[in-house]
Homo-oligomer: A and B are copies of this chain.
C-alpha cells in the first residue's frame, strides 16, 4: 500500500462508509456513536475507518468533556482536487466532441426538416 500523501487521501476516499462519514462530518463534529448510528457497522469498525481518515489528514479528533469528537479537515480534498484539475481539459475535450456531434446532428435535422413544414411533427406532445 502506497504511503505518500496523495495515495493516503485517495485510499481513504476509496470506501463508501468513509465517504459517508465525511459527508456526516460536513454537517458538524460528531462522536463515534453518532457516526456509527446510520450504519449496520460496529463502533470499533467506525473507529478503524476514522483512523484511516485521520492518517490521511481528512479528520481531526478532539476531546470535549467525556466525548471524543471527530471533525472534517477539508485541506487534503483541495489537494486531490488540484491534482484532478489537470485532467479537466480531457473531459472538457470529450464534452466538446459531444457538443460538436450534437450541433452537427441538429444542423442535419434542421436541413432535413427545412424545406417542408415538418416542424409540426416535433410538437405532437403538445396535443
Interface residues of A (CB under 8 A from B): 2, 4, 6-8, 10-11, 13-16, 19, 22, 26, 72, 74-75, 77-78, 80-81, 83-88, 90-91, 93-94
Contact = CB atoms under 8 A, between A and B. Distances in A.
A107 to B, nearest CB: 25
**Copy total for this chain:** 2
A91 B79 CA distance: 10
Q: Is the interface of A mostly helix, strand, loop or mixed?
A: helix
Contacts of A77: 84, 87, 90-91
Contacts of A19: 6, 83
B74 A94 contact: yes
A77 to B, nearest CB: 5
